[in-house]
Structure 1
Amino acid sequence: KSSRSPAPPRLSDETGRDSRAAFLKAARFFTTTNWEGDDMAKDWLVTLSAAREALFDADRPFVKMLSSGTTKVELYAPADYDAQTPHDQDEIYVIVSGTGMFNKAGERKPFGPHDVIFVEAGVEHRFEGFSDDFQTWVIFFGPKSGD
C-alpha cells in the first residue's frame, strides 16, 4: 500500500477544455483528500473563484476548501442570519466582501472587506446585519477544546 496521496484530477474534459464537471470533481478531491507530509505542498493554492463556485453548489452556507491536521480553511456566506454556535477550535475570519457587525461575547464591532477577526475556541460569536454580498474565509486551527 502506497503512502502517497492520489494524483489530483485534471481540470479539463476530454477535449482539453476546462469544464464545470471537471472542476466539481477536483473540488471534491481537494476537500476529501487527507493531506500529509510533502504531498500537501503540491496543491497549496485555492482561488476565491473556485471556492465561490463550490459554495454556490453546496447545500449549506460554507464549503471546506483545504484541510491538514487540525487546520481547516472554509469559505462562509450565510444568508439572512448567522446561526453558528461556538466552535471547539480557535478561528480567524478574513472578510472577503460585504459589511456588517460582528458580535463576540456581546461586544459588537463593524467589519468590512479585508478585515481580520480572531475568535477563541468556545466563545459565543456571530455576524449580524451583514450585507447580501457578505463572504468570509474561515480558518480553524489549533487543538480542539478539551484536547
Structure 2
Amino acid sequence: MGFHISIAEALQQLHKSENDFATIFEHGSMRGILFGPAEIDDQQPHLQDEIYIVLKGSGEFTLEEKKIKFGPGDFIFVPAGTEHRFSAFTPDLLLWVVFYGQQGGEGQ
C-alpha cells in the first residue's frame, strides 16, 4: 500500500471483510483501520493506544466510567488496556481507528 487511501477504497475493503473492520494501512507499530460496527460493539480492551475519528453516525461512547455523546468529526482517544464501548449508535456509524505505539501504551 502507498501513503494514501480514499474512503471509497477503504469502504471496498470493509465490504470484502468478514468482520466489522478492515485493516487499511500498516507501518511499524501503527495500524489504520476502518470500523463499521454492526448492532453491538463487543470489542475488548486493546494492547495499544488507539484513536477513533468519527466519519459518519452518532451515539454514545463509554470509556471506563465516563460516557459521552459523539458525532461526525469527533476525535476520541483510548489508552491501551482501557474498557471502552460504542453504544446506542446509528446504523451508519463509520470510524477511522488508529492503533499505535508499544504494547501497554505510550503512557507507561
Q: Same fold (TM over 0.5)?
A: yes
Task: Select which of 19, 36, 52 maps to 1:93.
Answer: 52
Is 1:118 paired with 2:77? Answer: yes
Q: Distance in 1 between matches of 2:67 and 2:11?
A: 27
Of Structure 1 and Structure 2, the greater helix share is in: 1
Question: Cα distance, 1:106 vs. partner?
Answer: 2.0
Q: How large is the RMSD of aligned CA atoms in angstroms?
A: 1.3
Tell me what 1:84 maps to: 43
Q: Distance in 1 between matches of 2:50 and 2:42?
A: 16
Question: Aligned partner of 1:49: which letter?
Answer: A
Percent identity of paired positions between Structure 1 and Structure 2:
37
Question: Aligned partner of 2:40: which letter?
Answer: Y
Gaps of 5+ in 1: 1-29, 31-42
Post-superposition, which runs of at least 4 consecutive aligned residues in structure 1 deviate over 4 A?
none
Q: Distance in 2 between matches of 1:112 and 1:145?
A: 28
Q: How many residues are matched? A: 106
Q: Give the secondary structure class of the aligned counterpart of 1:72.
A: strand
Question: Cα distance, 1:93 vs. partner?
Answer: 0.2
Question: Aligned partner of 1:113: which letter?
Answer: P
Q: Distance in 1 between matches of 2:53 and 2:5?
A: 14
| TM-score, normalisation: structure 2 | 0.94
Report which of the two structures shows the higher radius of gyration computed on alpha carbons.
Answer: 1
Question: Aligned partner of 2:36: which letter?
Answer: A
Task: Select which of 14, 22, 30 maps to 1:63.
Answer: 22
| TM-score, normalisation: structure 1 | 0.70
Tell me what 2:32 maps to: 73
Q: Give the secondary structure class of the aligned counterpart of 2:46.
A: coil
Q: Give the secondary structure class of the aligned counterpart of 2:45.
A: coil
Gaps of 5+ in 2: none
